[in-house]
Amino acid sequence: MGRSSQLLLSASLVLGIVAAYVWWQRHPGESIAATLDPIHQTLAPLPSGGAVLSMKLQSTSFKHESDIPQRHTCEGTDAAPALAWSGAPPTTKSFALVVDDPDAPDPRAPKTVWVHWVLYGMPPVTLGTPEGATKATLPPGTREGKNDWKQTGWRGPCPPIGRHRYFFKLYALDTMLPDLGTPTKAELEKAMDGHIVGQATLVGYYKKAK
């Protein structure tokens, strides 16, 4: 996909997020009897009978189990990749996202899971997050947790050695979590316990060029 197409999709995604948030504000307390279509940026009805579709998480920057482009890493501009999802259960009240690397520091002898991004409190009609997402461009109402740099926001792949895996894990929750401040991954997982009604995972790889 060309750079212009990526920018257009990111712009459309931001507009879709704003439109979805306006809908949510005008329909407080309603359950979301819809799934999200990340391509057309619309709310699509659930199939007859209310069957829950499997959640899917994807990115315009890379395919599942493929290499993450350098621009999303410490060797580039370190911009967060665009994400889009669909198939959330109708009982979804909010979304949370965790991105981590289970191969730190060395895939041949991993010793820790390194956390790159923590988000929660995304409204139930959220369609995704735009490329280069910052606090200002995240879906309205989204709260940020701390990564393992003890900072909020995205910090991209920067593996010291080898080719690492990066797990983008999206959670659909049956509640809107309270303000947890800037929780760590562990603190967010504790708060989500018993509230996860759907999950989707996207995996990318990265090895430093230098």
Give per-residue pLDDT as tens, 166-210. Answer: 999 999 999 999 999 999 999 999 999 999 999 999 999 999 997
Q: What is the mean pLDDT of residues 27-53?
A: 34
> What CATH number does the domain containing 24 carry?
3.90.280.10
The beta strands (E) that lie in the chain are given as: 34-37, 42-45, 56-58, 66-67, 83-86, 94-104, 112-122, 128-129, 143-144, 164-173, 196-206
pLDDT at 3: 53
Three-class DSSP category at 111: coil
Count of the separate structural domains present in the chain: 1
Average pLDDT value over all residues in the chain: 83
pLDDT in the model for residue 54: 83
**Looking at per-residue confidence, does 36 or 206 come out higher?**
206
Report the run of H or E that residue 185 belongs to, with start and end.
helix 185-192
User: Does residue 7 carry a pLDDT above 90?
Assistant: no
**What does the pLDDT average to over 95-120?**
98
Greater pLDDT, 83 or 32: 83
Q: Answer yes or no: is pLDDT of 2 > 60.
A: no
CB-CB contact of 128 with 38 (8 Å): yes
pLDDT at 21: 53
Phi-psi group of 13: left, alpha or beta (phi > 0 → left; psi -120 to 50 → alpha; rest → beta): alpha
Residue range(s) defining the domain that contains residue 156: 3-206
Q: What is the dihedral sign for C-alpha 105, 107, 112, 115? A: positive
Q: Is the pLDDT of residue 49 over 50?
A: no
Cβ contact 107:57 at 8 Å = no
Supply the pLDDT for residue 31.
38
Look up the pTM and report it.
0.77
Residue burial 48-65, b: 16+ Cβ < 10 Å; e: rest: eeeebeebbbbbbbbeee
What pLDDT sits at residue 44? 30
What span, in angstroms and rounded, lies between the C-alpha atoms of 196 and 174? 7
